[in-house]
Amino acid sequence: MYREIDTELLNWKDRENRKPLIVRGARQVGKTHSIEKFARLHFANFIKINFEEQIELKPLFKNFDIDRILNDLSILFSTMISPGRTLIFLDEIQACPEAIVSLRYFYEKRPSLHVIAAGSLLDFTLKEMNYAMPVGRVEFCYMYPMSFKEFLLALSQDRLVSYIQNYELHQDFSQVIHQKILDYLRMYLFVGGMPEAVKTCLTQKPPEVERIHSNILTALQFDFAKYGTKQQQEHLLSVFRYCARNVGKKVKYANIDREVRSENLKQAFQRLQSSRLLHLVHHTNASRIPLMNGVKENIYKPLFLDIGLANHLSGIRLIELENILTNNEGALAEQFIGQELLTLTPPYMDSKLYYWTREERNANAEVDYVFQWNNSLIPVEVKAGKTGSLKSLHVYLLEKRLNTAIRFNLDKPSIGTFQTKTSTGKIQTEIEFQLLSLPLYMCFQLPEIINAQGLAG
């Protein structure tokens, strides 16, 4: 199956100033499969070490004599190790911290070699290990579950993808094609983007996809045993399950477990984010970049790893997908757009998401996402249907003195300029703004549309 990371890996291979590459991402998002496919297509020789399965190879990295390590690997794998022809892949590298440190010496002593590392709990290990991180001697790449575009391509819907990519605003958008893509979107909302689940849905019936979801969730929760005491593991499980049911809602620790100290639950959120099972969408009050300057660390809402897994954990059965109705349609739409926005950031950058909220008596307002493109900020509202109030969006535009907004919904694409009256406090002000309205499924094309319309500097 095609993955966007394929292009990034090839760019890395051909770059003269490359460094050992660490691919970061949650368990089972496809890291190993993509790297192995890359190795088969572009290298004559391939050495793979899985430190969780081949624990007998860990002593190779107890000291950092790169010549000795390469000589031993060449003998053990009965292969020549040649610059430009050999890829060394260190999988589940979090199980051998010394191997992480060795990446520095690969870079300093054998920079012409291609070395890739990956690990499902890598972020957590990097924070906890007793060794110094090889800062400046490695580079990173980030991987997520399959996006909707990748999902369509896996289903051999290349022409639908091309139709979306070649569409220009103000053109007529076929209602029949629009409805067809919405059908695939509904399938994605419940199958999700975990590669094994997507592969299964191509040939198997929904119950088999459910089996895959169940297996993945069980494996993820077994990993909690690596996170500390039994009590800490229980906190992780509580937070994990809470987030699947409460996507898009501001976190209030009392809603999870009133008997557990807030600090303990906060640590559970942080650990799950470090393992990349959750993404915490922080509130920002920034009016200009950088968004981090306006962040309030204790105000955030969760985004789950994958929309299909979130639905499974919430008890939604994959039966007659076209007829499934839930009480969580708005949260599903917000989770979907969050997952898509994460993949819009270049893969060499660790993507961050933000939202805006104002909580005042009789004047609450919230914008689902604040999206940064180039050096501009654009508020994003997400709707599960074709209509819905944009009052919070109007308030945000007025307060931040912005004139461009994005709405995702189930309607066909459009763009227009609107005037409306809104207020902050008792003062009413008329504002004029440009609204880009896109169907949910077109999120992967957002950067190209923004650039084509000149909506961001």
With beta carbons less than 8 A apart as the criterion, state whether 127 and 97 touch: no
Provide the domain count of the chain.
Answer: 2
Long-range contacts: 40-44, Cβ < 8 Å, 24+? 42/10, 42/13, 42/87, 43/85, 43/86, 43/87, 43/114, 44/82, 44/85, 44/86
Q: Are residues 206 and 326 in the same domain?
A: yes
Final residue of a structural domain among 109, 142, 175: 142
Residues 6 or more apart from 163 whose CB is under 8 A from it? 174, 177
Question: What is this structure's pTM?
Answer: 0.93
Q: Are residues 154 and 138 in the same domain?
A: no
What number is the average pLDDT over the span 9-25?
Answer: 95
Confidence tier at 385 by pLDDT (50, 70, 90): confident
Q: Are residues 320 and 369 in the same domain?
A: yes
Number of Cβ within 10 Å of residue 279's Cβ equals 24
pLDDT, position 326: 58
pLDDT, position 431: 92
Regarding beta strands 86-91 and 45-50, do their DSSP bridges make them parallel or antiparallel, or are they unpaired? parallel
Final residue of a structural domain among 100, 115, 142: 142
In angstroms, what CA-CA distances link 438 with 26, 33, 116, 405, 409?
A: 29, 33, 38, 11, 6
pLDDT, position 99: 94
Per-residue pLDDT tens for 154-164? 999 999 999 99
pLDDT, position 253: 94
What sections of 327-374 are H helices per DSSP? 329-344
Residue-wise DSSP of 43-79: -SEEEEEETTT-GGGGGGGSS--HHHHHHHHHHHTT-
Q: Are residues 61 and 15 in the same domain?
A: yes
Q: Are residues 279 and 158 in the same domain?
A: yes
What number is the average pLDDT over the span 8-21?
Answer: 95
Position 331 pLDDT exceeds 70 = yes
Position 360 pLDDT exceeds 90 = no
CATH classification of the domain holding 135: 3.40.50.300
Position 454 pLDDT exceeds 70 = yes
Q: Phi and psi of 383, rounded to 5°?
A: -120, 140
Position 422 pLDDT exceeds 90 = no
Q: Are residues 166 and 292 in the same domain?
A: yes
Q: Are residues 219 and 348 in the same domain?
A: yes
Q: Are residues 233 and 283 in the same domain?
A: yes
Tell which phi-psi region holds residue 337, choosing left (phi > 0), alpha (psi between -120 and 50) or beta. alpha
What number is the average pLDDT over the span 422-437?
Answer: 86
Q: Are residues 261 and 157 in the same domain?
A: yes
Q: Looking at this protein, which amino acid is placed at residue 268?
A: A
What number is the average pLDDT over the span 350-367?
Answer: 86
Mean pLDDT for the chain?
A: 91
3-state DSSP assignment of residue 6: helix
Q: What single DSSP character describes residue 146? A: P
Q: Determine which of 97-111, 164-178, 313-327, 376-390 has the lowest per-residue pLDDT on average.
A: 313-327
Domain boundaries, position 112: 5-142
Final residue of a structural domain among 142, 167, 188: 142
Q: Are residues 134 and 170 in the same domain?
A: no
Per-residue pLDDT tens for 112-170? 999 999 987 776 676 666 666 677 899 999 999 999 999 999 999 999 999 999 999 98
pLDDT, position 320: 59
pLDDT, position 223: 84
Kind plus residue range of the DSSP H or E element containing 437 = strand 427-439
Q: Are residues 136 and 187 in the same domain?
A: no
Q: Are residues 178 and 309 in the same domain?
A: yes
- What's the CA angle centered on 339, arms 91 and 4, to 5 degrees? 55
- Could you give the percent of the chain with pLDDT greater than 90? 75
